[in-house]
Amino acid sequence: MDRNSEKNQFRGIIPPMITPLLNEDELDFEGLGKLINHIVVGGVHGIFILGTTGESTSLPYPIRHRLVEETCNLVKKRVPILVGITDTAVSESLKLAQTAKYSGASALVAAPPYYFNLGQPELIEYYEYLADRLPLPLFLYNMPSHTKINIEPETVKKLSEHENIIGLKDSSGNTAYFNKLLFHMKDDPGFSLFVGPEEIMAETVLLGGHGGVNGGANMFPELYVKLYDAAVTGDIKKVRELHALVMNISAGLYSLGKFGSSYLKGLKCALHLLGICNDYMSSPLNKFRKEEKSRLVVNLEEIQKKLQASKILTQNKKKDQ
């Protein structure tokens, strides 16, 4: 694979898609169709399925494979699809990669195996073993709060020499770390660097980052696309305006629960309230109960008003007709 070919250079907003579910073992197919259409029409540059936001590690394996096939079917090549294959068992990662390949996905994403506490040399061996066997190019996925290991800059540099490894998504929230990666990789434009937390997308793109894998783009894809565009072109006034809206979403929708999962629960609950899909969350998480939900209803309305005032949501409405 030539990672400097145009098709392997990812840029822009690639939402980490939530996984619409009816219950522990069933996809919400209707919701999935609506969600995909909503996101794609919103102008995003790709879709990332089976990430943390997609509750990947909580889903039974048949569901994971089915979701890959169905998403590829529904997207119909309108945007590239990235498939999360993060797993503690490398053979299961490889099987899912095969499903991704024959279904027509474009790339794969893998966080470090998250059970054992690995050293950096063990991590390098792991990724090389994996990348050697993958039928599609691979993004590294840094997620130290969940995997207990940070992919150190020197490790990224070493792994970037593998022709099958084409980028990294950083969900650490640590922009000092991310800026070090950008600096280390500045002479290698074929290596794409994305951030997860939407609260830092604008600023990282302003300083050379390649895009955002932002959960909020499940709800309001246009907002994130416009913010990305403003950041790429250096339109700092527009960036400040739209970034404030993202911070409103973050404060109003992602902080209502008591645990680390507040973001995920808030996002799925909001998508349900927006009429897009079911809000079932797979174990070990549980959807918001009445109290959090009623606070979210209020906050969501306020945010929608602000988005309308900024002419983000009107377009959205038209599109859905």
Say whether 153 sits in a helix, a strand or coil: helix
**Which of 71, 69, 58 lies closest to 25, judged by CA?**
58
Rounded to the nearest whole angstrom, what is the least distance from the CB of residue 170 to a copy of itself in the complex?
Answer: 11
- Residue 144 in contact with a copy of itself, rule: CB under 8 A: no
What's the rounded Cα separation, in Å, for the pair 241 and 49?
A: 29
Question: In this structure, how many other beta carbons lie within 10 angstroms of the beta carbon of residue 182?
Answer: 17
What's the rounded Cα separation, in Å, for the pair 294 and 218?
A: 21
Residue number with CB closer to a copy of itself (92 or 315): 92
How far out from the chain centre does Cα 8 lie? Answer: 17
- Binding a copy of itself by CB under 8 A: which of 8, 19, 53, 57? 57
Q: Choose the stretch contacting a copy of itself; rule: CB under 8 A; options: 35-43, 52-60, 157-165, 287-295.
A: 52-60
Rounded to the nearest whole angstrom, what is the least distance from the CB of residue 97 to a copy of itself in the complex?
Answer: 13
Distances (CA, A) of 122 to 118, 125, 159, 229: 6, 5, 12, 38
- Binding a copy of itself by CB under 8 A: which of 61, 73, 76, 163? 61
Buried b (16+ CB within 10 A) or exposed e, 27-43: bbeebbbbbbbbbbebb
- Binding a copy of itself by CB under 8 A: which of 30, 234, 275, 298? 234
Rounded to the nearest whole angstrom, what is the least distance from the CB of residue 113 to a copy of itself in the complex?
Answer: 5
Residue number with CB closer to a copy of itself (8 or 164): 164
Q: What angle do CA 116, 118, 124 make, to 5 degrees?
A: 130
- Residue 91 in contact with a copy of itself, rule: CB under 8 A: yes
- Residue 113 in contact with a copy of itself, rule: CB under 8 A: yes
- Binding a copy of itself by CB under 8 A: which of 2, 5, 25, 308? 25
**Which of 217, 213, 151 lies closest to 185, judged by CA?**
151
Residue number with CB closer to a copy of itself (98 or 179): 179
**Sequence letter at residue 123:** L
How many amino acids of this chain bind a copy of itself (CB under 8 A)?
72
**Which of 234, 167, 245, 170 lies closest to 203, judged by CA?**
234
Cβ 19 vs Cβ 218: under 8 Å: no
Rounded to the nearest whole angstrom, what is the least distance from the CB of residue 5 to a copy of itself in the complex?
Answer: 26
- Binding a copy of itself by CB under 8 A: which of 132, 161, 259, 290? 259
Residue number with CB closer to a copy of itself (58 or 98): 58
- Binding residues for a copy of itself restricted to 146-185, rule: CB under 8 A: 146, 148, 172-177, 179-180, 182-184
- Residue 282 in contact with a copy of itself, rule: CB under 8 A: yes
- Residue 247 in contact with a copy of itself, rule: CB under 8 A: yes
- Residue 290 in contact with a copy of itself, rule: CB under 8 A: no
Name residues whose C-beta falls within 8 Å of residue 147's C-beta, 6 or more positions apart in sequence.
111, 112, 113, 114
- Residue 239 in contact with a copy of itself, rule: CB under 8 A: yes
